[in-house]
Amino acid sequence: MAGFGNSDDYMKGEIIFIAGEGRSGSTLFDIVLGAQENAFSCGELQNFTKKGLVNEEFCSCGQRVPQCSFWSEVSARWSRERTLSLEEYNLAWLRYFGSYKRVFGLLKNAILPSKQFSDLVNDTEKLYDAIFALRGNDLYLIDSSKLPLRILLLKKMKYKVRVMHTVRQLHGVILSRSKSFNKNPKKGIEHDIHPVKPVKTMISWSLSNMLTILFSIGLNRNKVRYEELIESPYLIIEKQFPHLDSQYKKVLQSRGPFRPLHVVAGNRLRMQETIYVEQNGSSNQNAAQSAFIVKVLNSIFY
Ligand SMILES: [Zn+2]
């Protein structure tokens, strides 16, 4: 395993950032990509500190994050290296990334960073350093935090970043958000999930997609359509990673099984032991019935 300072092995690493709106297959895509020999699925890394370390939510290995063999090690390494305390880090995170309303303050700091913002950037980079170092020879870290604002932070780091912009047809997201789920932490549902009004989903879907496009300027951004991903994961991934090993190809072609190791936060899907990419034909049927505004927004962002 590579350690801090003794080689620049982990500098070769690339961060694959899955961006876009929720319910667009980001956790599934993370797990599928992470099944490559030289890759690691982090899950929603932006929730590692608050949900994982503070709230002690579950890792996909079945342990609570502070007890997980992998993330406890990451946390120990990271706490030796970072400048901010965990509490300060979470406060700084909330201040700049807590909501889309913070975007102007964030942009200002992206150009003229305050001390707090610089510390936040450096400490986040050190978190990636710790993960890369512990994973040894991994080339790709997959972070499915989704939040487009995080791209501004990734741009400030030494790592190569590739943005995977996942987009699902708007009516599919509206439908998925209209369902409710009861809290079930062991199954990865940390709180009750209430239905979201279609108009609210429309706004956040448009905003997420627009900001992902905008903030990815200057980076390698690849659009991944959810419907195409579940239709043929092999075709989609082969386009992005031309040198797939034969074992992984086989798993992709048979649509699984994928086994998430230590996916730290994200959709409840990650708590399943094995995952298959299942086809789902409902989206196309809904397309014809969707409202004019939904069709217009789909034609812009999808
Ligand atoms: Zn774990």
Centre of ligand 1 from the C-alpha of residue 241, in Å? 26
Cα of 66 to ligand 1 centre, how many Å? 9
% pLDDT > 90, the chain: 77
- pLDDT tens, position by position, 85-105: 999 999 999 999 998 888 999
110 Cα–ligand 1 center, Å: 33
Looking at 3.30.70.260, 3.90.79.10, 3.40.50.300, 3.30.300.20, the CATH number of the domain 10-87+118-301 comes to 3.40.50.300
Whether 301 shows a pLDDT value over 70: the answer reads yes
Domain parsing of the chain, residue ranges: 10-87+118-301
Per-residue confidence (pLDDT) for residue 11, from 0 to 100: 62
Cβ atoms within 10 Å of 104's Cβ, excluding its own: 8
> What's the confidence (pLDDT) of residue 282?
55
Q: What mean pLDDT do residues 110-122 have?
A: 96
pLDDT at 27: 93
**Per-residue pLDDT tens digits for 132-163:** 999 988 889 999 999 999 999 999 999 999 99
Q: Which residues surround ligand 1, an ion (CB under 5 A)?
A: 59, 61, 68, 262
Taking the complete model, does pTM exceed 0.85, yes or no?
A: yes
133 C-alpha to center of ligand 1: Å?
A: 17
Q: Band of the pLDDT at 5, cuts 50, 70, 90?
A: very low
Q: Residue 1 pLDDT more than 70? A: no
